[in-house]
Structure 1
Amino acid sequence: MHLLDAADLGYGAAPVLRGVTLHVAVGERVVLLGRSGAGKSTLLAAVRQALLDQGRRVALVPQDHALVPQLSALRNVLMGRLDDHGAVYNLATLIRPRRADRDAAMTVLDQVGLCPEADRAVETLSGGQKQRVALARALYRGGDVLVGDEPLSAVDPAQADRLAGVIRDAFPTAILALHDVDLALGFATRLIGLKHGQVLLDGAPDIPRDLIEALYAR
């Protein structure tokens, strides 16, 4: 998938990233690394738009979760497929979910360990639980590619490891920003390192650790 070609990415007059060219093969698990502000979110947004422009079905886990706080975890998950149906079907789904839809949503809530919280309003959940609802919504949506901006940052390391396995099994291709280097090394087939508005490294996860650590040095 050819996604970007010498693109300057950012908002306003000053690009955050310059001259980015990116190809991602089907089946790759790409992890973006770098300090906060290095441009990971900017690159993910551009990648997602490029995928959508190509007609790919994209599942998204945004950094801010983008949940409706007053709705239950279950109904937030069901929103993952709203664009597959018309307004009448969607309204009925949010008021009284069909059994098949509820069962499918409950399956993914079980995958992320949230079945007991299915009918709780999202605003009553912890940060880690909200993040898992956002991941469950992406799993329910399904698609060619998962794009995730720190989708596992609010859960403990053991949970993060398990959920990374769920992502790996559910999506043929994934492009994620992760803050945990060890988690990234265990998940990725390819690492992209950002610093000072540039892609400084791009390769397999056997990149020397000191090159990765240099991404985080001031």
Structure 2
Amino acid sequence: MSDLELSNLTAVFDGRAVLGPLSLTVAEGDRVALVGKSGAGKSTLLKLAFQHGARHAALVPQDLGLVQPLPVFHNVFMARLDERSLWYNTATLFRPFRRDRQEIGDLLDQVAMGDKLWQPVAALSGGQRQRTAIARALYHRSRTLLADEPVSALDGPMAARVMDLLRARFPTSLIALHDIDLALAYCNRIVGIQDGRIALDRRADELSESDLLALY
């Protein structure tokens, strides 16, 4: 069963083709790592994947998409805004309900952010902001994840912890990763992007680090 089907995607910037034409199918249960050097087209592919057929997915964009003046709680809560009524969301802005505080607090504990529940995002470090965006994705009800370098600001142990959480929470994912070791360890399929095209598409257990270095 296909969870995401992208056909003949193209992207042009300043008159120059930066992606495609490119087609990619992500089946249910695929955990796909997009690998390749900076500027290869990974971020563009993820944006187009979200726009063309994956709006149901939980999303961690490269710019994180956080609302800086709001506290961590409300940034995470926004993952389910469309599931609730206007009055519920408005009430939550002023006085969150206990069940939501508990559920979001538990998620933040998992990413070592439990003490930042009411901290404005603007006051957080880069790594803390990234973990806020991760918690927002975990709070989303989708079984599919699109993420652009979701652990780039985290140290080794925390990056591994977050990748464990994402793998356990989302059966299907399309994740841009610069770290080859993480890609091979946490994903079951590797798609290599080079000059806006797919240069490699194989199972992770068939590849080694040296097989991917040519993409960089």
**Pairwise same-fold verdict (TM > 0.5):** yes
CA distance in 1, matches of 2:208, 2:128: 34
Equivalence map 1:152-167=2 (5 Å): 152-167=151-166
Gaps of 5+ in 2: none
Q: Displacement of 1:57 after TM fit?
A: 2.4
TM-score (norm 2): 0.93
Q: Displacement of 1:208 after TM fit?
A: 4.1
Equivalence map 1:56-67=2 (5 Å): 57-67=56-66
Equivalent residue number for residue 211 of structure 2: 211
Equivalent residue number for residue 25 of structure 1: 27
Equivalent residue number for residue 123 of structure 1: 122
Equivalence map 1:94-105=2 (5 Å): 94-105=93-104
- Kept after mapping to 1: 8 A contact 2:19/2:196: yes
SS at match of 1:165: helix
Aligned pairs, how many?
A: 213
Partner AA of 1:210 in structure 2: S
SS at match of 1:24: strand
Match of 2:48 among 46, 49, 54: 46
Equivalent residue number for residue 199 of structure 2: 200
Equivalent residue number for residue 179 of structure 2: 180
SS at match of 1:81: helix
Distance 1:10 1:87, change over 3 A: farther
Equivalent residue number for residue 138 of structure 1: 137
Distance 1:149 1:10, change over 3 A: farther
CA distance in 1, matches of 2:52, 2:131: 26
CA distance in 1, matches of 2:208, 2:125: 36
Q: Deviations over 1:33-54 (max 9, x none)?
A: 01111000110011122334xx
Distance 1:139 1:10, change over 3 A: farther
CA distance in 1, matches of 2:89, 2:13: 34
Partner AA of 2:189 in structure 1: R
CA distance in 2, matches of 1:177, 1:86: 34
- Kept after mapping to 2: 8 A contact 1:10/1:42: no
Q: Displacement of 1:72 after TM fit?
A: 0.9
Percent of aligned pairs with the same amino acid: 44
CA distance in 2, matches of 1:212, 1:108: 34
- Kept after mapping to 1: 8 A contact 2:18/2:41: yes
CA distance in 2, matches of 1:137, 1:10: 31
Q: Displacement of 1:9 after TM fit?
A: 2.9
Q: Displacement of 1:107 after TM fit?
A: 1.6
CA distance in 1, matches of 2:82, 2:66: 16
Q: Displacement of 1:83 after TM fit?
A: 1.5
Distance 1:3 1:9, change over 3 A: farther
- Kept after mapping to 1: 8 A contact 2:143/2:169: no
* 1:148 is aligned to 2:114: no
Equivalent residue number for residue 169 of structure 1: 168
- Kept after mapping to 1: 8 A contact 2:181/2:209: no
Gaps of 5+ in 1: none
- Kept after mapping to 2: 8 A contact 1:29/1:190: yes
SS at match of 2:28: coil
